[in-house]
Chain A
Amino acid sequence: MDLLNQILGGFATASTPHNILFCFIGVTVGTFVGVLPGLGPLAAIALCLPITFYLDPTTAMIMLAGIFYGAQYGSSTASILLNIPGTASAAVTCLDGYPLTQKGQAGVALMITTLTSFAGGTMAIVLVMGLAPVISAFAMNFSSAEYFSVMLLGLVAASTLSIGSPIKGMTMVVAGLALSMIGTDKYTGEFRFTGGVLDLAEGVSLVALSIGLFGVAEILSSFAGKGPVLLNASSVRLRDMLPTKQQLKQSILPTFRGMGIGSVIGAMPGAGPALASYLAYVAETQVSKNPEKFGTGAIEGIAAPEAANNASVQTAFIPTLTLGVPGDVVMAVLIGALMIHGITPGPDFISSHGDIFWGLAASFWIGNVLLLVLNIPLIGIWVRMLAIPPRILYPIMLVFVCIGVYSIRNSIFDVYMMLLFGVVGYVLALFRYPAPPLLLGFVLGPLMEQHLRRALLLGRGDPMTFLHHPISAIFLALCLVLILRSLPLGPIRQKLRSRQVHRVDME
């Protein structure tokens, strides 16, 4: 009954006209950036971050979360119609979505992705509402040792499980941790790594860093693209979107499997929606009786990954809000947004800020319904968006990033910092150094230092305290497994093996 009351309370919070309006703005912006290739949800959230300072924390979170899951809906549109994924998680949708477009069934593919996205998201919301309070209650027993270890696990997982080179990912995590150390040390009051620059006394601005790394870097790399994509907007009409009974039947079981995989992957720290949709697709090819049809326009090939990535973006809120450990970089920015409002997510978040948690969880459902309305009747508008030329879009974005960064502290210094991080982010991206782990490290750095200090103080200076706490020891063991798995040991193992064979031959 208590749970039901809390859920009803959440719906009461989320359904105020003010919150519905910002939820609508969030999901619309999310769909917009999802549809446009290259402009991800992270850049959009970073751009909207300054606006949220003028909102109360619940409304701010509702809007930012709306951008995140709205982008998952929108990203499939460009994947299906143009074979260009709007976000990394939609890359898998290209595999069968685009062949369907080539067969003249783009409308059906869009309808199936919207329906399965809604189904995946809805099931995951139930999981968030049911599981988050249980995990919170469990995590209430965590001490600083467990916190430090679980954050370390989050960082290691984010760098090693992400797509690309694990060692470059790890380097970026460490670079993010280093950046987070700049500023005044809370315990001793010392200025660290400021180089005498007073503007750095409060540390590097999260907004300048995230907008620089993702917004400005994105604009700088836009010149290397293939040019604007022009599309016949009238090619997708509502009446072309209705799937046949057979197609609906084909998508039911893959949707459920995708939901399950996405929900589990989303709740794991470090594994984002891209991994969820990829695994769901692989699973479908394994269970299918006709695996050869994948890649040629199989309905299952779009239903499962879409359900999975939408489920994962909802369950990603479980570790973020109950442990304070962001699953991926978007969650890290959301934690940053909450911290700017003076709220630190953790086990006591649901009990002390229940209104925010339940209001946010209820808004997910409202947002998913709004997305259904936005994506089915209004699909023609989103398709037309694909034709906006970069020479109009990117200068407008530049104005917003400048105003956004300046408005946080009325500081021109922050605008220059954003520019610096933009150039750094652009160069790093060129050489395949992933920027998201850097931002994760930056957000978690101060929290990790705080828990390291506390754990060592309580453990009377014994570093083994991290192993004496069983849960902490398990987290550390998992970190070790992930690091060992990602090390480039292949050539070394081969050499060792060939030496052993050589020795056996000699004997």
Chain B
Amino acid sequence: MGNGKQIRGAQYADIAIALVLLAIGLGFTIIAYGHGLGSMRRIGAGAMPFLIGCALCLCSLICLFGALRSRIEVDVSPPLPVALVLIAVVAWALMVEPFGLVPATVVLMLIGTFAYGPIRWVSTSIVIAAMCVGCVALFIYGFRLPFTIFGG
């Protein structure tokens, strides 16, 4: 398990987040306007989103000023394990329908465990086998979820 480290340029990232939020707010407001604001008595589909978009712009502007004025330190996870976790979930999503619950679970557990350091094969195999049996018993036979054990 790696330790987090403080990243350089955290302040720029903080500013970037505020700018992204501002851009989302502006886009949201413009699209909301396109849906029609309606009248005061019968407000349109765009009225509430329009108000929300304006509020998001205002809030993100205040956050932007805050980010410009103050420094921030962040404790960030190392990128490789984070990427491995994301890949593990994507692999599960790609495999579960064509190959079934057990192969998808095995691949996810292997990649997920690898994210935390070298795999200890004996203990990992036992945990994976127990998880597969448990998931099939609980979700397929217990809750009758529409998964297949193997194959699509």
| A interface list, Cβ under 8 A from B | 51, 54, 165, 167-168, 170-171, 174-175, 177-178, 181, 185, 187-188, 190, 192-193, 216, 219-228, 389-392, 394-396, 398-399, 402-403, 406-407, 410, 412, 415-416, 418-419, 423, 426-428, 430-433, 445, 448-449, 452-453, 456-457, 460-463, 488
Consensus secondary structure, chain A interface: helix
In B1-59, the 8 Å CB interface with A consists of 1-4, 10, 13-14, 17, 21, 24-25, 28, 31-32, 35, 39-46, 48-49, 52-53, 55-56, 59
Selected from A192, A418, A430, A449, the residue in CB contact (under 8 A) with B76 is A430
List the 6 closest pairs (A to B, CB-CB), nearest first: A224-B4, A461-B41, A395-B112, A391-B116, A461-B40, A223-B77
- Decide: A174 near B89, CB < 8 A? Known: A181-B49, A193-B28, A399-B135: no
CA distance A269 to B87 in the complex (A): 39
Please state if A396 and B63 are interface contacts (CB–CB under 8 Å): no
Residues 111-150 of B, flagged 1 when their CB comes within 8 A of A and 0 if not, give: 0110111000001000100010001000100010111000
Q: Cβ of A220: which chain B residues have Cβ within 8 Å of it?
A: 77, 82, 85
CA distance A432 to B70 in the complex (A): 13
Q: Cβ of B97: which chain A residues have Cβ within 8 Å of it?
A: 412
CA distance A429 to B51 in the complex (A): 26
Please state if B92 and A402 are interface contacts (CB–CB under 8 Å): yes
Question: In the complex, how many residues of chain B place their beta carbon closer than 8 angstroms to a beta carbon of chain A?
Answer: 70
Distance (Å) between the CB of B73 and the closest chain A CB?
10
Please state if A406 and B21 are interface contacts (CB–CB under 8 Å): no
Distance (Å) between the CB of A193 and the closest chain B CB?
6
Distance (Å) between the CB of A142 and the closest chain B CB?
20
> Cβ of B103 < 8 Å from any Cβ of A?
no
Question: How many inter-chain residue pairs (CB < 8 Å) link A and B?
Answer: 185
Q: Which residue of B lies closest to A226 (CB)?
A: B3
- Decide: A403 near B24, CB < 8 A? Known: A221-B77, A412-B97, A457-B42: no
> Cβ of B68 < 8 Å from any Cβ of A?
no
Distance (Å) between the CB of B70 and the closest chain A CB?
10
Distance (Å) between the CB of B136 and the closest chain A CB?
11
Q: Cβ of B41: which chain A residues have Cβ within 8 Å of it?
A: 456-457, 460-461
Q: Cβ of B127: which chain A residues have Cβ within 8 Å of it?
A: 392, 395-396
